[in-house]
Structures are given as structure tokens and as C-alpha cells.
Amino acid sequence: MSDGMKAAAREAQSSTPVRVLARGGFAANGVVHLVIGIIVLVIAFGGRGESDQAGAFKAIAAAPLGYVALWLLAVLLAALGVWHLIDGLLADRGRRDSDTKKWGARISSWGQALVFLTLAVIAAAVALGARPDADDSATEASRGVLTLPFGALLLGAVGVGIGVAGIVFGVMGVRRSFRNRVTIPAGGLGTVVTTLGVVGFVAKGVALLIVGVLLIVAAVRVDPEAAGGLDAAIQALLDVTGGPFLVGLVGAGLIAYAVFCFFRARYARL
């Protein structure tokens, strides 16, 4: 990237409006995880619900002024996605790391940008009246991949990637490395924020790991019906011994992650 483009990206990222919108994006991500966590807890206690991002957006749409909230979430999530996109472009600023680490930082930022931009699109789609089903989408996407040459290997690789992402989240929680991205306040509040981060990152890691396992199983069996998103992962966890208790823990952990995101909106290092 040319020096002029880098300068423009650096100026955009450091501007007050972009930073304010990015912080709003962290809060929006917290809202999404809060709704998912509540739905997961409802399922743990025998209720029903779609425990994924699409399900969360549909639940928000059903609330008073829900469509207004969805458009606001879409804008803020898109802004956070753009911020991560720019952050990836500037991953080498002030770094003396190897090219491998720099590209690792870029890929990480761009991966997060893709996640938040996708969430923004889903939120906007639901606001426009669409009713997406993440599990059906995962099944159809898996079916399409499996028809390709070496499709099973490709689907398995995607599953491994998502599983690795889950492990990374869990490790970040256990090692508390998320503190590198947040200015932890002093005193008791800092302890609360750190605890929420540990619990939240581990819970999100578990959920992603199960999604990855489902995709790997679908690849091994060459069976797209075995694939699924977060909702399918929660249902799979529900079927194991002590499932409702484990699902309840994941739900509580996702709520903890949501509250951490609210604090991150205030204390994130941008």
C-alpha cells in the first residue's frame, strides 16, 4: 500500500467520528451477545428459541421499535467492521515484527472485519423483513462445498479454522491476553472487567469450537445435514450428559461476554 493510502487510512482511523462509531460497534456486539445469551438460558431451562445471531436479530425485530434498533445495530456493526478493515491495512505501523506476524495481525483484523460486516448485513436484512435461518444456511453452504472437487477437505478445513478460532478465544480468556486490547480500569471495576472477559471469552470459545466440530463431522461423513451454526451447536451440547447445565453455563458466559463488550466500548484501545 502506498504511503498516501496509508496516511489516508491512518487519518480516517484516528478521526473522532470513526472512533465513536467503532466504540458504538463494540456496544452493538454486546447487545447481540446479550440477546443470544438470554435465548441460550431460555433453552437451558426447557424453552425454545434460535440461539444464533439471526435469531437474536429476529428477537430484536419483535420488540417495540425493534426495526429502528436493528438499523442502528447494522450501522454500528458496519462501522466497527470498517474500523477493523482499516486496522488491518495499518497492521505494520510502529511494528518491528517479522512479516509473518504482521500478516497474522492483518488477517486477524480482516477476519474480524468480515464478521462484523456480515452481522451488519444480517441485521439490515432482518430489518427489511428477511427471516434468515443460520443452520439452514450452513447446511446449504456445506452441501454446495461438498459438491466441489475436494469439497470434503475444504469443508473440513473451514471447520478446523472455526475450531481454532474457538481455541484462540478460550486461550485469550484463560491467559487474559484480551487485556492487550482494553485499558483495564484500576481497582474493583478492573477486577470485574477482567473476570467478565475471562468467562466471556472462554464461553464464546466453547461455542465456536462446537460449531467447528460440527463442520468437521459433516466433512468426514460427507453429510451436509450434520453441519450447523451456533444454534445447532447449542442443540448438540444439549444432547450430551448434563447438557442443560452446560448450555446454561454457555448462556451465562455469553451474557458475561456481552457485558464485557459494553465495557470494551468505553475502554477499548483504538
Give the residue from 188, 169, 174, 68 showing the smallest Cα distance to 123. 68
DSSP letter for each residue of 97-161: --HHHHHHHHHHHHHHHHHHHHHHHHHHHHHTT----HHHHHHHHHHHHHTSTTHHHHHHHHHHH
Same domain, 23 and 146: no
Asked which of 9-23, 166-180, 211-225, 242-256 is least confident by mean pLDDT, the reply is 9-23
Confidence of residue 132 (pLDDT cuts 50, 70, 90): confident
Last residue of one domain, picked from the residues 82, 108, 132: 132
Whether residue 248 contacts residue 41, with contact meaning beta carbons closer than 8 Å, is answered with yes
Last residue of one domain, picked from the residues 132, 158, 182: 132
| Number of separate domains in the chain | 2
Residues spanned by the domain of 157:
133-270
Same domain, 171 and 217: yes
- Residue 71 pLDDT greater than 60, yes or no: yes
- Residue 114 pLDDT greater than 60, yes or no: yes
**pTM greater than 0.75:** yes
Using DSSP, state whether 268 is helix, strand or coil. strand
Last residue of one domain, picked from the residues 98, 132, 166: 132
Same domain, 152 and 270: yes
Same domain, 11 and 141: no
- Residue 155 pLDDT greater than 80, yes or no: yes
Alpha helices in 15-90 (DSSP H): 16-44, 53-61, 66-89
Same domain, 181 and 208: yes
